Amino acid sequence: MKSETLVLRGARVLREGSFLDADVQIRDGRISAVGEGLEGDVLRVCGDLVPGFLDEHIHGIAGHDTMRGAHDVLEMSRALARHGVTTFLPTTMNAGPEETNAALRGVKAAMQAGAPGADIAGAHMEGPFLGAAYPGAQKAGANLAPMLQNYSRLTEGAQDVVRLLTLAPENPGARDLIAALAARGVAVSAGHTDAKYEQIREAMESGLTQMTHLYNCMSPLHHRAPGAVGAALTLEGLSSQVIADGIHLHPAAVKLAVRACSRVLLITDAMEAADMPDGDYDLGGQKVFVRGGAARLAAGNLAGSTLTLERGVRNAMRFAGISLEQAAAMASANVADALGLADRGRIRPGLRADLCLLDAAGEVRMTLVAGKIVYER
């Protein structure tokens, strides 16, 4: 009878912040042991074995988009596995109530169907409770007042799907909504916001825990008005999303975030042009022009990214001068902790066997989700 235990042997394993030569034993989709000479069906591998990456902010990839429904979300799952991503939150755009609700129902349907690649851990609602001052590529005309009644209408039939919500905490009613969602276990992030430093601090008292795409679409740092950026860099307990693509952020800005923020979360904020050639694409019903890997609206606004997360990890290492151990944690353990996903994000017995094997150049060789190989090259 074939053993139901898989043993990965031959890789350097990232365990509790450092690499060691060890076997990883997998049983029933979870890591059952990490050590030497473990028993089971041995699969010999070569490279660096790190926790699978989690992307909590991604609109699309490989020609697919969250707003188009379950089929596209499932294809996003498949594509993301090629980049070492084992968990993701399909992310919505600012849109009308019916369109937003349909997208969330699509995410729910995809979750129920079963992901072919990266696990779908819920949805990230980016809007429609955003601020008018920093729309970015979001449709400011779709903004709604941050009221629980509006949230309930938008999420009808899919309330259990939302795991992360981005809003502007300075808007009237936002703090009450933050508190209500935090009580339900939904993480709340400040983004597309003109909030003052003090308003971010007050929102944290209500349950705000994250900052969406740090530096972008938020009140900047000034020495007499630190703004949302100053809050992210100085307030303990805030997790800050960072797009390390060299387009959204200067390398020095990434280095500053790594040095100053309580917790950095590497994200892509990718749209459908990720994994695709330069050309013309769509984001939230708006035409996007991708040239040299930079995605922009006709007016010049950045419109998401074409970044993939394994490239983000390599860029973070280069921009901030940090190790693979540190950068990998920013794309795995840090994100799992920020989302309250205690069953993943680390190579530890008892946790899900969500793993990524990297070669010496930092390219993905293999991705496992719950112990199943979903990508291999």
pLDDT at residue 110 tops 70: yes
- What's the structural domain count of the chain? 2
DSSP state of 221: P
pLDDT band for 2, please (50, 70, 90 cuts). Answer: low
CATH code at 188?
Answer: 3.20.20.140
Residues 126, 214, single domain; the answer is yes
Residue 262 forms part of a structural domain: yes
Residues spanned by the domain of 41: 5-49+349-376
Residues 279, 369, single domain; the answer is no
Q: Regarding predicted confidence, which is higher, 136 or 157? A: 157
Above pLDDT 90, what percent of the chain?
Answer: 95
Residues 114, 33, single domain; the answer is no
Question: What does the block give as tokens for 361?
Answer: 């150049």
CATH code at 17?
Answer: 2.30.40.10
In this prediction, residue 1 carries a pLDDT of: 36
pLDDT at residue 239 tops 90: yes
In this prediction, residue 135 carries a pLDDT of: 86
Residue 344 forms part of a structural domain: no
Residues 18, 146, single domain; the answer is no
pLDDT at residue 305 tops 70: yes
- For residues 155-179, give the mean pLDDT: 97
Which of the following is catalytic: 23, 119, 269, 354? 269
Other Cβ atoms closer than 10 A to 185: 11
Residues 38, 184, single domain; the answer is no
pTM: 0.97
Residues 91, 157, single domain; the answer is yes
Residue 97 forms part of a structural domain: yes
In this prediction, residue 311 carries a pLDDT of: 98
Closest CA to 211 of 172, 253, 271, 257: 257
The residue assigned the tokens 């920093």 is: 134
- For residues 63-89, give the mean pLDDT: 98
How far is the C-alpha of 319 from the C-alpha of 100, rounded, in Å?
Answer: 36
Residues 143, 271, single domain; the answer is yes
- For residues 223-235, give the mean pLDDT: 98
In this prediction, residue 284 carries a pLDDT of: 87
Residues 249, 334, single domain; the answer is yes
Residue 303 forms part of a structural domain: yes
Residues 104, 126, single domain; the answer is yes
- 269 classed as catalytic: yes
DSSP state of 305: B
Residues 42, 59, single domain; the answer is no
Question: What does the block give as tokens for 144?
Answer: 């709604």
Question: What does the block give as tokens for 366?
Answer: 């293999």
Integer CA distances (angstroms), 244 to 228, 270, 316, 333, in order: 19, 11, 6, 17
Residues 215, 322, single domain; the answer is yes
Residue 82 forms part of a structural domain: yes
